[in-house]
A = this chain, B = another copy of it.
Amino acid sequence: MNPTPPNPPRLAARMRDIAPFHVMELLQKARALEAAGRSVITLCVGEPDFPTPQPMVDAALAFIRKGDVHYTAGLGLPALREAISGYYAERFGLDVPASRIVVTTGASAALQLLLGVLVNPGDEWLLPDPGYPCNRHFVRMYEGRPVALPVDESTDFQPTAGAVDAAWRAETRGLMIASPSNPTGTVLDAPTLANICTRVRTLGGHVVVDEIYQGLNYGCEAHTALTCDPDAFVINSFSKYFGMTGWRLGWLVAPQAYMRDIEKLAQNLFICAPVPAQYAALAAFSPQTRTMLEARRAEFARRRDFLRPALESIGLRIAGNPRGAFYLYTDVSSASDDSHRYAHELLDRTGVAITPGLDFGENASARFTRIAYTHEVPTLEAAVERIARMPR
């Protein structure tokens, strides 16, 4: 009906800087192989293999059943914000009032919301490389400039106050860090974290701490940046430790002085976080749920304790000290000089899907892959046997 020909696509300039998840190609190929009857072991997805704990499922079922699923306040259900506040008190001995807590549509929305309030065009933000790939895109989305802060094994893939100081420029406005880290699973120790927070504060900047793998720690205690810096901006999530990936629920803790602006931006960007998820999360902190979550943590620890030496025994070195999350950052340089190609070949030849380092930055990424221990030990054993068959 419209005689005028369509205009050629015209994309915003930012799209040139936004990378797809390379692992998605692998995942699609993995699904195609499975559909064709091949046996595939998927160690490339960033989510626990466990279902959502039943008490949380039951809480959601009870709420949904009547169908009264209406909007909540933009900052989230008051009862859930109180429950999260209670979690900080009970688990970390901290007073984090509910008035400083925002319930968000996953950590993704928390990052979006927070950076919308903080990032001006042209501002530089320091981001550890390797790191969570979306962070640089969230900065870019607001016309900020993500600046890679290369981290390596010498500091367990975490920044130090000195490195932050050295990289800081007049245009730098903040630093994003993650502990436990994705993709390395390394954990910032409390003194280093405190030093970083103090240094950034002295520099007049902001620290955003991604704690979405909080609680998934092995051989060390869970901690929070709020202990050493009550004014840190902290991102958290119900996805990983609490087993709620597909529900899309997370939270943000911010200093009180920012809350009015965070609220108005949250109303405008999201209206509110998904309400069935909010009701499910009300049961996240019960003793019954906690017992289940701690059993899962023990299971992840067993898997890590199997997989790490098993991979090393076949010549794949694990880089850094993986004390958290469910990832091993695995050096495949003994087998290939291109981890992206290696990941494709591994999938083609053996049916094992892992994530190429490229998805986490450009710092020596051709050397590394991320292997997620999101299967039971027998499956991990089978995966190691298959990986061992690869030529090197």
A interface residue numbers (CB < 8 A to B): 1-4, 6-15, 18-21, 24, 45, 47, 51-54, 57, 60-61, 64-72, 74, 105-106, 108-109, 112, 116-121, 133-134, 137-138, 141-143, 194, 197-198, 201-202, 204-206, 227-231, 243-248, 255, 257-258, 261, 263-265, 267-277
B71 touches A51 (CB 8 A): no
Give complex CA distance A272, B68 in Å.
23
**Closest-CB distance, A337 to chain B (whole angstroms):** 27
Q: How far does the Cβ of A71 sit from chain B's closest Cβ, in whole Å?
A: 5
Q: Could you tell me if A274 and B246 are in contact, using CB atoms closer than 8 angstroms?
A: yes
Q: Is the CB of B141 within 8 A of A20?
A: no
Q: List 26 A-B contacts (CB under 8 A).
A: A1-B194, A1-B227, A2-B198, A2-B201, A4-B198, A6-B201, A7-B201, A7-B204, A7-B206, A9-B255, A9-B258, A11-B117, A11-B258, A14-B142, A18-B264, A47-B71, A51-B69, A105-B270, A106-B271, A116-B141, A133-B268, A134-B268, A138-B269, A142-B143, A246-B272, A248-B273
Name A120's contact: one of B12, B204, B264 (CB within 8 Å). Answer: B12
CB pair B121–A228 under 8 Å, yes or no, is no
Distance between A317 CB and nearest chain B CB, rounded to angstroms: 30
| A272 contact from B14, B67, B197, B248, Cβ within 8 A | B248
Given contacts A2-B229, A64-B64, A119-B12, contact A105 B246 (CB under 8 A): no
Query: How far is it, in angstroms, between the C-alpha of A228 and the C-alpha of B46 when the chains are bound?
Result: 42
Contacts of A245 in B (CB 8 A): 69-71
Q: How far is the CB of A168 from chain B (nearest CB, A)?
A: 14
Measured CB to CB, the closest approach of chain B to A282, in angstroms, equals 14
With a 10 A CB-CB cut-off, give which of A45, A64, A65 has the most chain B CB atoms: A64
Q: Is the beta-carbon distance between B11 and A246 smaller than 8 angstroms? A: no
Residues of B contacting A12 in the complex (Cβ-Cβ under 8 angstroms):
116-120, 142
For the complex of A and B, the 7 pairs showing the least CB-CB separation, nearest first, are A51-B67, A246-B275, A69-B246, A20-B264, A274-B274, A52-B67, A9-B257
A246 near B71: Cβ-Cβ < 8 Å: yes
In addition to A2-B231, A6-B201, 9 A-B residue pairs with Cβ atoms within 8 Å of each other are A6-B231, A12-B116, A53-B67, A61-B64, A137-B268, A142-B143, A246-B276, A248-B272, A248-B275
Q: How far is the CA of A244 from the CA of B269 in the complex (A)?
A: 18
Verify A276–B247 contact, CB threshold 8 A: yes
Q: Which chain B residues lie closer than 8 Å to A64 at the CB level?
A: 57, 60-61, 64, 276
The distance from the CB of A62 to the nearest CB of chain B, in whole angstroms, is 10
Closest to A248 in B: B274
A121 interface neighbour in B121, B267, B277, Cβ under 8 Å: B121
Pair A120/B269 contact, Cβ less than 8 Å: no
What separation, in Å, do the CA atoms of A118 and B267 have in the docked complex?
Answer: 22
Measured CB to CB, the closest approach of chain B to A246, in angstroms, equals: 3
One of B9, B20, B143, B243 near A143 (C-beta < 8 A): B143
B13, A120: Cβ atoms under 8 Å? yes
Once the chains are docked, how many angstroms separate the CA of A141 from the CA of B3? 34
- B275, A247: Cβ atoms closer than 8 Å: yes
In the bound complex, residues from chain B placing their C-beta under 8 Å from that of A229 are 2
Please, how many angstroms separate the alpha-carbon atoms of A180 and B321 in the complex?
Answer: 57
Residue contact B67 to A45, C-beta cutoff 8 Å? no
**Residues of B contacting A74 in the complex (Cβ-Cβ under 8 angstroms):** 24
A10 surroundings in chain B (CB, below 8 A)? 118, 206
Interface centre among A13, A68, A69 (most CB of B within 10 A): A69
Distance between Cα atoms of A121 and B231 in the complex (Å) = 31
- Asked if B263 contacts A20 (CB within 8 A), the reply is yes
Residue of B nearest to A57 (CB): B67
